[in-house]
Amino acid sequence: MKHRIIVLGAGYAGASAAGFLARHLHRDDFAITVVNAEPDFVERIRLHQVAAGHDLPRHGLDEMFAGTGVELRLARVTAVDADHRTVTVEDDSGTDRLGYDTLLYTLGSTTADHGVPGVAEHAFHVAARPAALRLRERLDELDGHGSVLVVGGNLTGIEAATEIAEAHPGLRVALATSDELGGWLGPKSRRHLFAAFDRLGIDVHERTAIERVEATGAVAAGGAVFAADATVWAAGFAVHPIAAASGLAVAGNGQISVDRYMRSVSHPEVYAAGDSVHAVGENGRPLPMSCASAGFTRMQATAAIVGDLTGHRTPKTALTYFGNCISLGGRDGIFQAVDGDARSKSWALRGRGASRFKNFVYRGTIWNMAHPTYGLPTRRRRLAASERRRAAAPA
């Protein structure tokens, strides 16, 4: 019997992880299945561009996994039973239950409404492709007339507001944030950020907490009303509740609690990566939900899986951030360098150079999805796994 590895989710963590495992474990001994709801790899960090009206290249998972031996199962994950090592999935044919020997959980996150009334009913978001397409349809309906309110002053909110304002110059775009806009940036970067907002005509409302979203806009604490034909909610992310209901140990926010190697602390045959994992960086702080964190944690998780299944030493992957890369429309941006404690340094790349660097990141990320060869000596690991399993097989 082959050792069954199931990867849940094919985003920035899951897609590359599955390809890496397929290239480092012999297919005669291991069966790798990826469960994903969509047939394509979705560039989530570019969904603000999709919402604004841009068309992105299609990246079919079948094509990405071609020749690797990875089986793609198009279905929605509805439950995980960690004690019995099963995953329940649903597709157009009905419900199925899949058994596993090793599980890599990378189901990611969705938008966090923070309990604010009206978000689910009236707000748009860009945390998933279907949601970004709904916002795109709404912006097209407005046809350059009307107003848009973006709620949230971190990366997603900044990128959504600037992309929408640039692509739809006739719309009145505003951003409301409960804190300072880009308050974590260095002084030069923050000045550049506000200059970009001024150039694009985006109104900024700092220290403005939205306490209710309505069909015609939003209401802030204190009663201020922001009329909007479309409200875009970009106030953070939350993990799906599946992990917390699975029997796995989770942190207070529902992320899976793991050791330094991304193994579940309660079920060591389960590994987690991406937004689903509560991983602590080199600075002693939990890694934020981001594409960069997906890269660090997937590298560590897959190295641990290969090491655990082949008996080889598992190397540690550095869990350290180098900076924040922010797009400000199609031709402007900021790359803010940070130190080991994730505090902004004085150095930053700004303007068209930062925009080019962001595009380089986009291209590099897609290339890595199809060529996840970082790290381990492939041939030696494959042979070691094959020899070990054949030696253990009954005569």
Q: Token digits for 289?
A: 């939900």
pLDDT exceeds 60 at position 392: no
Q: Name the CATH topology of 3-108+240-320+374-392.
A: FAD/NAD(P)-binding domain (3.50.50)
Beta strands at 94-99 and 102-105: parallel, antiparallel or unpaired: unpaired
Unique residue bearing structure tokens 């002693």: 284
Bridge partners, residue 3, by sequence: 30
Task: Report pLDDT for 390.
Answer: 55
Cβ neighbourhood burial of 250 (10 Å; 0-12, 13-18, 19+): buried
Name every residue whose Cβ is closer than 8 Å to that of residue 292 and which is 6 or more positions away in sequence: 321
Mean pLDDT of the chain: 91
Name every residue whose Cβ is closer than 8 Å to that of residue 302 and which is 6 or more positions away in sequence: 17, 20, 21, 24, 104, 273, 375
pLDDT exceeds 70 at position 299: yes
Q: What is the pLDDT of residues 8-47, one digit of tens each?
A: 999 999 999 999 999 999 999 999 999 999 999 999 999 9
In whole angstroms, give the CA distance from residue 191 to residue 201.
15
Q: What is the pLDDT of residues 154-209, one digit of tens each?
A: 999 999 999 999 999 999 999 999 999 999 899 999 999 999 999 999 999 999 99
Sign of CA dihedral 281, 181, 363, 61: positive
Q: Token digits for 394?
A: 């009954």
| Domain 113-233: CATH class, spelled out | alpha beta
In whole angstroms, give the CA distance from residue 305 to residue 24.
10
221, 137 Cβ separation under 8 angstroms: no
133, 255 Cβ separation under 8 angstroms: no
In whole angstroms, give the CA distance from residue 249 to residue 135.
36
Q: What is the pLDDT of residues 225-264, one digit of tens each?
A: 999 999 999 999 999 999 999 999 999 999 999 999 999 9
In the chain, CATH 3.50.50.60 sits at 3-108+240-320+374-392, 113-233
Mean pLDDT, range 202-228, rounded to an integer: 96
In whole angstroms, give the CA distance from residue 236 to residue 185.
18
Name every residue whose Cβ is closer than 8 Å to that of residue 101 and which is 6 or more positions away in sequence: 3, 4, 5, 85, 269
Cβ neighbourhood burial of 288 (10 Å; 0-12, 13-18, 19+): middle
